[in-house]
Amino acid sequence: MTPDKLDEVLEEFERRLGPVRAPISAQFHRTFADGPFDICDFCGKPFGEAGSRYMIVKYYSAGELRQELALCSETLDGLRRCYSEHSLKSMQRWYSPELMASRRILVGSIQDEIPRRLTEHCLFCSRSKSEVSEFFEYALCEGNELLCAVYPSTQCGECMRKVVHSLSAETLDMRRKFFQKQFGPPPDIYRGVWTEAELAALQ
């Protein structure tokens, strides 16, 4: 399946079902600088425009927040174009229709507890945050709202490394070159973020 075809399928999926929307809670506000995320941490684009989507990422290690950032839709689009056919198929296996359907059922049953209940356990292995030494929290947003389906979610460091290692060498090299061309060499945190940022643009 080509990237354009995958976009088409997922856009139709969203059109039919649509994400549940919820206010962005303090969990997904900036911690190191008080207040909501309002600009892309790569290109500086503001998120105030109507319909502007962006991804929030927080990285925790040893129980402490180590890094937080937000990625605009243009950055996500650039990452998406780096994916080879092999990598797209790999991501389809990780984000299976069964996983996406189960998340939507969960979202529909806990609307008063979003995003806390959606981020209690790793999306892939179901371990709780207290059971892992590091994890990422992700939220896909539009304006001042969370778009709730696969996201918000938590992924442990071990599972994220497995996801990244399942990508092709071609994809890994293209992503590295993308970041170096646009922003310079990325810090280590983005080893786990890149894959999720890619998927965020497709949800």
45-48 long-range Cβ contacts below 8 angstroms, 24+ apart: 45/72, 45/74, 47/72, 47/141, 47/143, 48/143
- Cα(31)–Cα(24) distance, integer angstroms: 14
Q: One-letter amino acid identity for 3?
A: P
Q: What is the pLDDT of residue 179?
A: 67
- Segments making up each domain of the chain, as ranges: 1-9+47-103+131-203
Q: Of residues 151 and 17, which shows the higher confidence score? A: 151
How high is the mean pLDDT of the chain?
79
In this structure, are residues 76 and 55 in contact, taking their beta carbons and an 8 Å threshold? Answer: yes
In this structure, are residues 30 and 107 in contact, taking their beta carbons and an 8 Å threshold? Answer: no
Taking the CA atoms of residue 198, residue 88, residue 175 and residue 148 in that order, the dihedral angle to the nearest 10 degrees is 10
According to DSSP, the residues that pair with 59 across neighbouring strands are: 67, 136
Give the residue-averaged pLDDT of 42-58.
83
Residue 192 binned pLDDT confidence (cut-offs 50, 70, 90): very low
For 78-121, write each residue's pLDDT tens digit: 888 888 889 888 988 898 888 888 888 888 777 677 778 889 99
Is-cis flag, bond preceding 115, omega within 30?
yes
